[in-house]
Chains A and B, each alone.
Chain A
Amino acid sequence: MASVTFDKATRLYPGSTRPAVDALDLDVADGEFLVLVGPSGCGKSTSLRMLAGLEEVNEGSILIGDRNVTDVPPKDRDIAMVFQNYALYPHMTVAENMGFALKIAGINKDERATRVLEAAKLLDLEPYLGRKPKALSGGQRQRVAMGRAIVRQPQVFLMDEPLSNLDAKLRVQTRTQIASLQRRLGVTTVYVTHDQTEALTMGDRIAVLKDGVLQQVGTPRDLYERPNNVFVAGFIGSPAMNLFQADLSEDGVLFGNHAVRVDRNTLAGIKQKQVTVGIRPEDVTVTTAGDGLPVEVDVIEELGADGNLYGHATIGGNRVDLCVRVDGRSHPNAGDQVYIVPKEGHVHLFDIESGARVGEVVVA
């Protein structure tokens, strides 16, 4: 096992003016589960492929442990791409399916048996080792495929959208299995997904990328509670954080007739007259009393225990669509007029031009 270091690693495709991955600085600790997340084209898969040795690194370097692997061929990097190919061979037993790559690597029979048994125990596959794949369920087959990677005892596991072609139910199951297995194995893992829910539920830490540039890296809680910029704020969390532009007053921001005070130091750091305000759907109190920002309810999405209120307000003459978490049993209805007030300590402010976070979480 080992740490992974991207040291100003850059990938510039020939003929392109903008790097696909731009001076990526990222340290993945030994045994850590790091998720690279971002929208399509953000450079997450390219970063993973750079680590795998599939993409050239034009500038900077990549280290696995203390070893600089920037120019090392993929098969000599001691990494395993999990789920790269999970075809199982019908005439071979589960044990053979898991161990055949060791056989071609010239590892002796006793060692092969030991490693296969170890992996099978971890994967709860021990009772099935003598069986053929056709006797296994879909989930068990997935685990055999993982077993193929585990028996090689690589330093790092790499996974590139491994769940993308599974149906929704199997995806959630496998997601949990991968995360718990990774913790049991303790093998450093770099995992790529475009799905922020997958990122939040699986990663020890998450690195958010956009346009080849690392936006923020931190624990799921860090990213959720204290996004560095508007992009991370909007990308992490579902339903997404409400983001809109608002005028600054002398001592804060106005929500209709409700003023949200912002401390002086933070205000002093804002150069423009407007600011981007971010509030998560659950950080809003809904009233009918007339205090706060008036919102017209468009639709209520019932989720059982709670629900989502989708509505709109007029701020600074512009229509702003908003989403607010409401109680599942007692909530306003479509067409109602309500007033919203942000909960204390949960308003995020971002610079209107750079999108960068301004100050700490402010007090409402």
Chain B
Amino acid sequence: MSGSLNITSAIVDPALLDLPWALPLEVWPDDSIAALPKGISRHLVRFAHLSGYVVAIKETSAEFARREYEMLRTLQRLEIPCVDPVAVITNRSTVDGIELDSALVTRHLRFSLPYRALYSQSLRPDTGTRLVDALAVLLVRLHIVGFFWGDVSLSNTLFRRDAGAFAAYLVDAETGQLYNKLSNGQRENDLEIARVNIAGELLDLQAGGRLDEDFDPVGISNGIVAAYRTLWKELTGSEEFDQSERWRINQRVERLNDLGFDIEELAIKTDDTGTQVRIQPKVVDAGHHQRRLLRLTGLDAQENQARRLLNDLDSYTVTFHKKGEVDEEMIAHEWLARVFEPVIRAIPKDLRGRLEPAEVFHQLLDHRWYMSQNEARDIPLAEALNSYVDVVLRHRRDEATVINPPTGSITMPTEVVDEDDWRLKV
């Protein structure tokens, strides 16, 4: 099959042809490789530069590569946060005609971080909890659309900062299957896989001296079960109440909105006597605040960032306009031009890769709040911004495409080193 490289891709990028497909991924030259931190992978995964962005390349069988490519495209259509599939490369061979594994190419998500890049010295318990919470939200969303993951783990997830929390993105769909509806057994199994894998990953960090001393890996990994169940119940559970308590319908809608979900379809039933009402959400959509922010301002942000920006927009409205005086879109446009955009423009160019704009804005609001507390006065945004840039932003690393530590995999046997007595470590 030498010379008949086959590329299947939804985007036409001729630069794909320039990557050294005739070499095993393991020996790709340094000039093709971008260094990004990664999690634990079954397959060799490396990152390469392509037309000004970074792609992740995974070597696997042709069947698996094609299947995962299609699965990721389907998940995207279902509006699940996941990596962007770019291409499947099959029929690879070296110049000597030796067959090479096929490859799946996905686009690296800007500002996304693997969990192993979310600490400098060691992972703190509160960060661990926030990661697990973000993964629980992703898992619930996947289960609602009927996706059984089969290999839920922190390593198979990327995280984007989201106004103090994290938003989780699915990275590895290799083991996943899409069904019309998942059985309870499938959901429970995914949850158990998640619990065990997260514990394994955290225990591994502990073994490498990368967990805070007061970090309880088993306790935190167990946390996914409760977080998942609470959200699942809120999004799908039915509740029953007396006719006279019909306000509970609105209450349920508001509770879901607060959690970042919209109800697209709600089943409402009354019993034979007409005194009892039962409600159950049938179709829910994530991104309640994201959608509102996008509609009003055109800004694309994570859910909690959107909530934070909308809160600022609301307080702007109250401060500068009487209720009902000007319509919402007009005020949003004004807030964007007078508040948000000047802040983002004021960030020095060399610091723009540090954080996403919406995250910068969120952190700036926090920073101003702390300054106001310390100095017991109102701090103008411009003053807070100068301080934030100098005190906080300048000292952060770039997270647009994190470069450090180097990539690697554990697929090659290496020299055997004797360790301590294993009995001490079980």
Q: List the B residue with the shortest CB-CB distance to A11.
A: B183
B199 close to A113 (CB less than 8 A): no
**In the complex, chain A residues whose CB is within 8 Å of the CB of B425:** 92-93, 95-96, 130
A87 close to B40 (CB less than 8 A): yes
> Least Cβ distance of A10 to chain B in Å?
14
**In the complex, chain A residues whose CB is within 8 Å of the CB of B195:** 104
**In the complex, chain A residues whose CB is within 8 Å of the CB of B153:** 85, 87
> Least Cβ distance of B224 to chain A in Å?
12
**In the complex, chain A residues whose CB is within 8 Å of the CB of B251:** none
- For window 27-84 of chain B, which residues contact chain A by CB distance below 8 Å? 40-42, 60-61, 64
B416 close to A135 (CB less than 8 A): yes
Q: 1/0 contact trace for B149-192 toward A, CB 8 Å?
A: 01101010000000000000000000100001101111011001
With contact pairs A91-B205, A96-B207 given, residues A134 and B410 touching in the complex (Cβ less than 8 Å): yes
Say yes or no for B423: interface residue by CB 8 A criterion. Answer: yes
With contact pairs A89-B203, A104-B199, A131-B417 given, residues A84 and B151 touching in the complex (Cβ less than 8 Å): yes
A52 close to B203 (CB less than 8 A): no
- For window 392-426 of chain B, which residues contact chain A by CB distance below 8 Å? 410-411, 413-423, 425-426
**In the complex, chain B residues whose CB is within 8 Å of the CB of A238:** none
Say yes or no for B221: interface residue by CB 8 A criterion. Answer: yes
B197 close to A56 (CB less than 8 A): no
Say yes or no for A99: interface residue by CB 8 A criterion. Answer: yes
With contact pairs A89-B40, A135-B416 given, residues A14 and B422 touching in the complex (Cβ less than 8 Å): no
Q: 1/0 contact trace for B195-213 toward A, CB 8 Å?
A: 1110111011101100000
- In the bound assembly, the distance between CA atoms of A136 and B416 in angstroms comes to 8
**In the complex, chain B residues whose CB is within 8 Å of the CB of A129:** 422
Q: 1/0 contact trace for A34-75 toward B, CB 8 Å?
A: 000000000000000000111110000000000000000111
Q: List the B residue with the shortest CB-CB distance to A77.
A: B185
> Least Cβ distance of A346 to chain B in Å?
36
**In the complex, chain A residues whose CB is within 8 Å of the CB of B40:** 87-90
Say yes or no for B218: interface residue by CB 8 A criterion. Answer: yes
Q: List the B residue with the shortest CB-CB distance to A135.
A: B416
Q: How many B residues touch the partner, as a band?
A: 35 or more
B180 close to A135 (CB less than 8 A): no
Interface size for A (C-beta < 8 A) is 44
Say yes or no for B193: interface residue by CB 8 A criterion. Answer: yes
Q: 1/0 contact trace for A9-40 toward B, CB 8 Å?
A: 00001110000000000000000000000000
With contact pairs A13-B180, A100-B200 given, residues A54 and B185 touching in the complex (Cβ less than 8 Å): yes
Q: 1/0 contact trace for B308-336 toward A, CB 8 Å?
A: 00000000000000000000000000000
Q: List the B residue with the shortest CB-CB distance to A111.
A: B426
> Least Cβ distance of A205 to chain B in Å?
26
Say yes or no for A109: interface residue by CB 8 A criterion. Answer: yes
- In the bound assembly, the distance between CA atoms of A100 and B197 in angstroms comes to 10
- For window 83-135 of chain A, which residues contact chain B by CB distance below 8 Å? 84-96, 99-101, 103-104, 109, 112-113, 116, 129-135
- In the bound assembly, the distance between CA atoms of A56 and B182 in angstroms comes to 10
With contact pairs A103-B203, A103-B218, A133-B410 given, residues A85 and B416 touching in the complex (Cβ less than 8 Å): no
- In the bound assembly, the distance between CA atoms of A103 and B426 in angstroms comes to 8
Q: List the B residue with the shortest CB-CB distance to A134.
A: B410
A134 close to B414 (CB less than 8 A): yes
Contacting A165 at CB < 8 Å: which of B64, B200, B413, B414? B64
A91 close to B416 (CB less than 8 A): no
**In the complex, chain A residues whose CB is within 8 Å of the CB of B417:** 131-132, 135
With contact pairs A56-B183, A95-B425 given, residues A137 and B413 touching in the complex (Cβ less than 8 Å): yes
Q: Which residues of A contact B (CB under 8 A)?
A: 13-15, 52-56, 73-75, 84-96, 99-101, 103-104, 109, 112-113, 116, 129-138, 165
Instruction: State the 8 A-B residue pairs at the shortest beta-carbon distance, nearest first.
Output: A91-B208, A89-B204, A95-B422, A129-B422, A130-B422, A130-B419, A91-B207, A53-B185
23 A-B pairs in the complex with CB atoms less than 8 angstroms apart: A52-B189, A55-B186, A56-B185, A73-B188, A75-B188, A86-B42, A90-B208, A91-B207, A91-B208, A92-B203, A94-B422, A95-B426, A96-B426, A101-B199, A103-B199, A104-B196, A109-B426, A112-B426, A131-B419, A134-B410, A135-B413, A165-B60, A165-B64
